[in-house]
């Protein structure tokens, strides 16, 4: 199937780390993506990782990829209230023309 799965909610305290998890289906996906959707807005590309990498770090963001388990995670260090949003994991399905398939999104709530 084409399911990308994520937990729906995560609540963290300001200043703590957030870890958002995702499992994907296509082992031949070349890139995996994290998008962020703030209230009332469209999705924005946050970061991505190439499938031959295990980890990618970009300032407060760390992406970990476990290809064996088809598991992707996004860690946000020192989480701030401005990080409150919905985070979507996405994979490109190969075969024919590529199409980007999103998970249902994880709603991150940051509280004081």
Partner 1 sequence: DSGVTQTPKHLITATGQRVTLRCSPRSGDLSVYWYQQSLDQGLQFLIQYYNGEERAKGNILERFSAQQFPDLHSELNLSSLELGDSALYFCASSVEAGELFFGEGSRLTVL
12-30: b (≥16 Cβ within 10 Å) or e:
beeeeebebbbbbebeebe
Angle at 10 between CA 8 and CA 14, to 5 degrees: 155
Is position 72 an interface residue for partner 1 (rule: CB under 8 A)?
A: no
- Measure the CA–CA gap between 34 and 58, rounded to whole angstroms: 12
Choose between 43 and 61: whose C-beta lies nearer to partner 1. 43
Binds partner 1 (CB under 8 A): choice among 71, 98, 109, 111: 98
Binds partner 1 (CB under 8 A): choice among 12, 23, 48, 75: 48
Closest separation between CB of residue 40 and partner 1, Å?
8
Is position 61 an interface residue for partner 1 (rule: CB under 8 A)?
A: no
């Amino acid at each position: 199937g084409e399911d990308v799965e994520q937990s729906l909610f995560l609540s963290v305290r300001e200043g703590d780390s957030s870890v958002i998890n995702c499992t994907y289906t296509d082992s031949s996906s070349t890139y995996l993506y994290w998008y962020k959707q703030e209230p009332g807005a469209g999705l924005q590309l946050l970061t991505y990782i190439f499938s031959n990498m295990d980890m990618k770090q970009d300032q407060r963001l760390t992406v970990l990829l476990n290809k064996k388990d088809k598991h992707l995670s996004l860690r946000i260090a020192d989480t701030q209230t401005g990080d409150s949003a919905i985070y979507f994991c996405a994979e490109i399905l190969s075969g024919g023309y590529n199409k980007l398939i999103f998970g249902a999104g994880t709603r991150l709530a940051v509280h004081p």
